[in-house]
Amino acid sequence: MDLKTMLAGGKYNRGHCPICACPTVFVELGEWLRDQYLCVLCHSVPRWRAVIEVLDSYFPNWRDLTVHESSPGGASSEKLARECPGYLGTHFFKDVQMGRCRDGIRCEDLESQTFEDERFDLVITQDVFEHLFEPERAFREIHRTLKPGGAHVFTVPWYYWQPTRVRAVRENGGVRHLDTPDYHVNPIDPDGSLVTREWGYDLADIIYRSCAMTTTVVRIRDRAKGIDGAMCEVFVSRKS
């Protein structure tokens, strides 16, 4: 979409984009800001800007750290890959051996990784955990692969007003749906990604019970940084 079309709706504000790291204009293309409040320069959405803002605030030396991102996609992942020499993005390819690469991208299953213990300072996941069948295993694997003092920085759609709801489970080699199937866009799979969990107010407790990491929820509402709208929280789980 070109700039003229984006601005035609008339709802926009000036600000400073954490991803572009320069002045920009944020434009509202619709009411669902989570997907429709874009930076005109990098076309990022609020949750991507929130992740970079949290990294800048909580881990200002993130460019010098070793970082694993599972299932990268979008302007925030591109910035991490561009600016952090110790960044490693992995995807789960169904037909590639774990730990091997396709087109230069390493294949890893977040729930059962081939990385050695305590390899990373930071693990990043952006809207990944709502698609996992065994998220507790993934939390434990992230804990295992983090150095002491390391952190998992992530986003998920957070239904903080209700307990976590399981929408689908793996059963007998297939999938059993407990709710109407809901799919999100997946950059490496045209069929999309099935939503297996609606994470609720017990998310931090589930993480603590899984791997003893303590979680902080960061909620930013700042139009000057283009961060506004529902479900833009960033979670920071720390390994002691």
Instruction: Kindly list the residues in this chain that would bind Zn ion in the complex (CB under 5 A).
Output: 17, 19-20, 39, 41-42
Minimal distance in Å, beta carbon 219 to Zn ion? 21
Task: Please say which residue, 17 or 50, places its beta carbon nearer to Zn ion.
Answer: 17
Minimal distance in Å, beta carbon 76 to Zn ion? 10
Minimal distance in Å, beta carbon 124 to Zn ion? 18
Minimal distance in Å, beta carbon 39 to Zn ion? 3
Minimal distance in Å, beta carbon 24 to Zn ion? 5
User: How do beta strands 120-126 and 234-238 pair?
Assistant: unpaired
User: How do beta strands 22-28 and 37-39 pair?
Assistant: antiparallel
Task: Please say which residue, 83 or 179, places its beta carbon nearer to Zn ion.
Answer: 83
CB atoms within 10 A of CB 112: 11
Task: Please say which residue, 19 or 153, places its beta carbon nearer to Zn ion.
Answer: 19
Residue 31 per-residue DSSP state: S
Task: Please say which residue, 40 or 168, places its beta carbon nearer to Zn ion.
Answer: 40
- The contacts of residue 5 (CB under 8 Å, 6+ apart) are none
Q: Which strand ranges, in their side-by-side order, compose the sheet holding 197-200?
A: 158-159, 197-200, 165-166
Give the number of C-alpha atoms closer than 13 A to the C-alpha of residue 66, restricted to the C-beta side: 11
Task: Please say which residue, 53 or 127, places its beta carbon nearer to Zn ion.
Answer: 53
Task: Please say which residue, 81 or 96, places its beta carbon nearer to Zn ion.
Answer: 81
User: How do beta strands 105-107 and 101-102 pair?
Assistant: antiparallel
Minimal distance in Å, beta carbon 224 to Zn ion? 13
Tokens found for residue 148: 């002491």
Residue 55: its H or E element: helix 46-58
